Amino acid sequence: MKHYQIVIIGGGTAGITVAAQLKLKDKNLQIAIIEPSEKHYYQPAWTLVGAGTYDFEDTERNEADYIPKGVDWIKDKATGVNPHTNTVSTAASGDVTYDYLVVAPGLVMAPELIPGLKEAMDKGVVCSNYTDPKHTWEVLKNFKGGNAIFTQPTTPIKCGGAPQKIMYLAEDYLRKHGIRDKANVAFYTPGTIIFGVPDFAKTLNKIIHDRNILFKPFMAPVKIDAKKQEIYFKYIKPDEEYAIPSDNPVGEELTDTKEIKVHFDLLHLAPPQAAPKFIQDSDISIQEGPGKGWVDVDIHSLQHKRFSNIFALGDVAHLPTAKTGAAIRKQAPVVVENLLKLMKTHEVGQASYSGYSSCPLVTRYGKMVLAEFKYDNVRDSDPMISKFVDTSKEQYSMWLLKKYGLPFMYWNLMLRGKA
């Protein structure tokens, strides 16, 4: 049985960044990363791939090139975590034991949670930038008019803004190609508002109004009929029944079971998402209640609430903020500092995560709003950038940051432990 001082589950953004930072601080640490994938993807650019303005191939690199020097890569799937015996099980490499564990396997797509979605995913006119952005681009290019429906599930998802980013780009594409007057563009969301932070919501509400996008809150997608090109929603506003509005451009129909049926000619959605099963089945996850299945960590120290030698970050951690790469950039140094302090003194460090996350909201080709915020939906814009640019307004400079600056920073600085 192999034993390491530190085992990291996951070689995605979070796992690699933490490993790189740990090695820069102390090159003698014995660290292993458990990660089955040969390829590493820069997923934030998939929004741009889906809109035909970024090559998918440029989002892909070899995982081997980013495993930090001196870190053992266990090229295998983690299949279980037993925090009582400090053991991680793997599919083919046996058990691995640890003194300290960093849990960062990300999340998994769970299309089976919406009946009909699994069969429809990435086929015909149903597309998702979360799974196959190249298919999204094909669907957009082939769209000739009708209902372009954009939606998201009731589960937590990676980058909560992504389902609306592709909608703004698609709408702009239709304008540029003379199809906009033949199309209804609608955003159906289980959410109550377009965005949680007031400054950014104000900008987005104006964009939606000015560009004649139909905004439908309190709408949870419940099933899809791919053959008939119909999606069904449940209206989830408390104590209120849904009535079809008199102005009904998309042709909503109310079924006997009070579901809202909508025909689509293009459907883009974020599939439901969940923590990996081996996490849900482990004692490290929250066992009951709203965060059930996600890893149970202190929202500031990122240390596990019940097992002090475990930390978690990234999409799998139960944190009340958006699951983004930008969040990981601020979480990683907190995990590293607190973990190293714990190893040296048996007391967790003082580093604290404020809930910072950011959502680069691409609003059209060549324009972006940079939404930065922390816990409780408090705006948290970078003081340096804010001196020069109002990031709550659409900016060309922010588009350049999204398309060129952030990918460069990701591959060359963040994954090397330097940003």
Catalytic residue among 359, 361, 362, 370: 359
Q: What are the structure tokens assigned to 5, written together?
A: 């001082």
Which residue, 174, 187, 118, is CA-closest to 142?
Answer: 174
With 0-12 / 13-18 / 19 or more C-beta atoms within 10 angstroms meaning exposed / middle / buried, residue 69 is exposed
Q: Which amino acid is at 80?
A: G
Active-site annotation holds for 127: no
Exposed, middle or buried: residue 247 (CB in 10 Å: 0-12, 13-18, 19+)?
exposed
CA dist 336 and 229 (Å) reads 48
- Measured from the Cβ of residue 364, the count of other Cβ atoms closer than 10 Å reads 18
Candidate list 159, 166, 169, 371, residue with the active-site label: 159
CA separation (Å) from 301 to 26, 317, 330, 351?
A: 21, 12, 12, 6
**How many CA atoms lie less than 13 Å away from 103 in the CB half-sphere?**
36
Across 291-323, b (16+ Cβ under 10 Å) vs e yields: bebbbbbbbbbbbbeebebbbbbbbbbbbebbb
Residues with catalytic function = 159, 359
